[in-house]
């Protein structure tokens, strides 16, 4: 009882916010917690819309959802997993426990205001903003000693919006959850003509285990999608119906094929050898590289293709991709370079072999009918329940609260958020964005960016001119476009070490962090390599 009281006392959250403060952090997920820890010197205010921290790991998961990476590859550099040697991938409940322990250890609760939803942000800097000035924010300074943003917050149980002023805002609302991506259909071909039930995966996440089983058991279910959330959902559907009286198979409507991986071992070799060492990443193009390196990348194109083919050969041998028509036409590296490689949950293809999961290919022209879904070739797939595992519009969460003209600047002509060092928008002053760049370990990516941001706010380095930052982010988009057709996801997986090197150099920290050249070339980089100097 005493220990519980001590914990509750330690987890006492912020109840009041000064009318004017230095730093606001929007979102209490992984990125928001990392930002709070790194920016603690500025006494930040963390606005979390829900009643708990954890972000998508708390509010956008299924009962079977697990992390897709081993524990040591998904931990803060200064806070290890208690059971980090456990080879199983952590469940979403374990991840929440880990994040709460992180907040406990570093006293982050005192910065967090729960049940505080940001609904509006107003720019106070004058001149309308968004102009192409020589220096970011006009002066190049992130903290200018005066309020630059006014943040409108609606608290739980209140109909009023309270406004607070800040010198700097860190947007950590995340790319997933909250705003579902919904397919658009011609009139008379959407969900309105379907006699059954249509549900987005986001709504499914809100159900209890008993409710999900009751919802799916004995129903003809169609799952639209073939990424991680769709795969997990189809497996849960098959498990709910297996052996049940009147149990039905689940049909996956596959629009775009992606490579799936059963484990982090390829022909007996650890997966990190192919993409996560400095030598492995030397083969791949990186943003804004010089002419000599561009020539080397051209010469090494056969090697890159060979690595991808080697992995594809294993996956085609290990998994029944050809049997079910699930072998993608594009190279494996394109999925890896866009962070779309999914780790298969145990038993997925076993359920397919038992005819509890079926697959139907469809293009963007599929639509609803009265009795189910209609494919391009006229085939009708009967359904009682259709799940839309079609993703999320994370950028819309940012657009929704930003004022004009910044709202129109969130995404550039490439379809990406143009973020220098994955953090600073060159044309949006006194604001940072964390959690909008993906990698093999999004936690590591966010933590290092928050440390870089703390260095910026602490005056350890200055930003380049706006023109130079725009040129840099354009170069990053071009490098990704040449690597993968799915470049709009802004994934740095094939050049993550180079990306980390650049931030370490800005901070004046060591770039080569392994201690010897053998490890530097052949050992994988992870969070533990980036402990603060």
Higher pLDDT: 529 or 46? It is 46
Euclidean distance between CA atoms 334 and 354, whole angstroms:
31
Whether the pLDDT of residue 300 is over 70: the answer is yes
Whether the pLDDT of residue 5 is over 70: the answer is no
Q: Give pLDDT tens digits for 169-219.
A: 999 998 887 888 999 999 999 999 999 999 999 999 999 999 999 999 999
Return the pLDDT at 87.
87
Q: Give pLDDT tens digits for 251-299.
A: 999 999 999 999 999 999 999 999 999 999 999 999 989 899 999 999 9
Q: Would you tell me the crossing angle of helices 442-457 and 30-38 to the nearest 10 degrees?
A: 30
Residues in a beta bridge with 24: 45, 169
The percentage of the chain sitting over the pLDDT mark of 70, rounded to a whole number, equals 96
Domains, the chain, with CATH or none: 20-177+393-530 (3.50.50.60), 191-262+319-388 (3.50.50.60)
Question: Listing from the earlier edge strand, what are the strands of the sheet with 367-368?
Answer: 367-368, 372-374, 380-382
Residues in a beta bridge with 254: 361
DSSP 55: T
Q: Give pLDDT tens digits for 94-106.
A: 999 999 999 999 9
DSSP 489: G
Return the pLDDT at 18.
85
User: What CA–CA distances, in Å, run from 485 to 39, 316, 475, 499?
Assistant: 36, 22, 16, 21
Whether the pLDDT of residue 128 is over 50: the answer is no
Whether the pLDDT of residue 2 is over 80: the answer is no
Return the pLDDT at 414.
77
Residues near 35 by beta carbon (within 8 Å), at least 6 away in sequence: 25, 44, 46, 170, 172, 434, 450, 453
DSSP per position, 158-173:
---EEEEEEEEEEE--
pLDDT, mean of residues 35-53: 96
Return the pLDDT at 528.
85
For strands 269-270 and 265-266, give the pairing. Answer: antiparallel
Return the pLDDT at 9.
59
pLDDT, mean of residues 234-244: 93
Euclidean distance between CA atoms 11 and 248, whole angstroms:
46
Return the pLDDT at 6.
56
From the list 358, 413, 406, the residue with the least C-alpha distance to 383 is 358
Q: Give pLDDT tens digits for 409-465.
A: 998 887 889 999 999 999 999 999 999 999 988 999 999 999 999 999 999 999 999
Are 352 and 359 contacting, i.e. CB atoms less than 8 angstroms apart? Answer: yes
Euclidean distance between CA atoms 365 and 378, whole angstroms:
11
pLDDT, mean of residues 340-351: 94
Residues near 296 by beta carbon (within 8 Å), at least 6 away in sequence: none
**Lowest-confidence range among 75-79, 160-164, 245-249?**
245-249
To which residue do tokens 């469809």 refer? 362
Q: In 3-state terms, what secondary structure has residue 270? A: strand
Return the pLDDT at 301.
94
Whether the pLDDT of residue 527 is over 90: the answer is no
pTM: 0.94
What average pLDDT is seen over the chain?
92
Tokens of 464: 């380049």
Return the pLDDT at 203.
94
For strands 372-374 and 380-382, give the pairing. Answer: antiparallel
Tokens of 478: 């071009």
Whether the pLDDT of residue 164 is over 80: the answer is yes
């Amino acid at each position: 009882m005493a220990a519980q009281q001590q914990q509750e006392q330690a987890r006492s959250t912020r109840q009041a916010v000064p009318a004017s403060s230095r730093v606001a952090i929007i979102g209490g997920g992984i990125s928001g917690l990392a930002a709070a820890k790194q920016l603690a010197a500025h006494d930040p205010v963390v606005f979390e819309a829900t009643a708990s921290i954890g972000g998508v790991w708390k509010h956008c998961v299924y009962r079977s959802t697990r992390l897709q990476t081993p524990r040591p590859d998904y931990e803060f550099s200064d806070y290890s997993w208690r059971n980090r040697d456990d080879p199983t991938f952590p469940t979403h409940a374990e991840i929440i426990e880990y994040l709460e322990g992180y907040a406990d250890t570093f006293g982050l609760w005192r910065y967090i205001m729960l049940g505080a939803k940001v609904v509006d942000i107003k720019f106070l800097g004058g001149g309308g903003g968004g102009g192409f000035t020589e220096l970011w924010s006009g002066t190049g300074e992130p903290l200018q000693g005066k309020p630059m943003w006014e943040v409108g917050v609606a608290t739980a149980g209140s109909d009023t919006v309270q406004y607070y002023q800040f010198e700097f805002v860190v947007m950590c609302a995340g790319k997933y959850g909250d705003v579902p991506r919904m397919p658009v259909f011609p009139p008379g071909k959407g969900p309105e003509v379907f006699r059954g039930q249509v549900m987005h995966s986001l709504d499914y996440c809100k159900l209890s285990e008993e409710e999900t089983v009751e919802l799916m058991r004995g129903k003809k279910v169609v799952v639209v999608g073939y990424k991680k959330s769709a795969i997990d959902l189809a497996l849960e559907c098959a498990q709910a119906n297996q052996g049940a009286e009147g149990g039905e198979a689940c049909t996956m409507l596959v629009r775009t094929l992606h490579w799936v991986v059963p484990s982090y071992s390829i022909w007996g070799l650890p997966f990190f050898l192919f993409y996560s060492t400095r030598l492995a990443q030397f083969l791949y193009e990186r943003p804004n590289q010089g002419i000599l390196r561009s020539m080397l990348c051209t010469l090494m194109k056969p090697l890159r293709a060979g690595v991808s083919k080697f992995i594809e050969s294993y996956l085609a041998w290990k998994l029944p991709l050809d049997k079910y028509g699930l072998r993608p036409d594009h190279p494996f590296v394109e999925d890896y370079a866009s962070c779309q490689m999914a780790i298969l949950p145990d038993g997925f293809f076993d359920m397919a072999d038992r005819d509890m999961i079926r697959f139907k290919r469809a293009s963007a022209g599929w639509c609803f009918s009265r009795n189910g879904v209609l494919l391009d070739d006229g085939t009708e797939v009967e359904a009682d329940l259709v799940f839309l595992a079609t993703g999320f519009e994370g950028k819309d969460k940012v657009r929704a609260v930003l004022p004009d003209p910044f709202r129109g600047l969130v995404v550039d002509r490439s379809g990406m958020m143009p973020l220098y060092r994955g953090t600073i928008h060159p044309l949006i002053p006194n604001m940072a964005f964390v959690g909008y760049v993906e990698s093999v370990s999004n936690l590591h990516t966010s933590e290092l960016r928050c440390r870089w941001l703390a260095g910026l706010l602490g005056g350890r380095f200055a930003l380049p001119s706006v023109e130079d930052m725009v040129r840099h982010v354009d170069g990053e988009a071009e490098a990704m476009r040449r690597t993968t057709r799915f470049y709009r996801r802004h994934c740095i997986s094939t050049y993550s070490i180079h990306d980390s090197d650049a931030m370490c150099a800005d901070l004046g920290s060591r770039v080569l962090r392994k201690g010897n050249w053998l490890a530097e070339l052949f050992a994988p980089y992870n969070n533990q390599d980036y402990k603060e100097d």
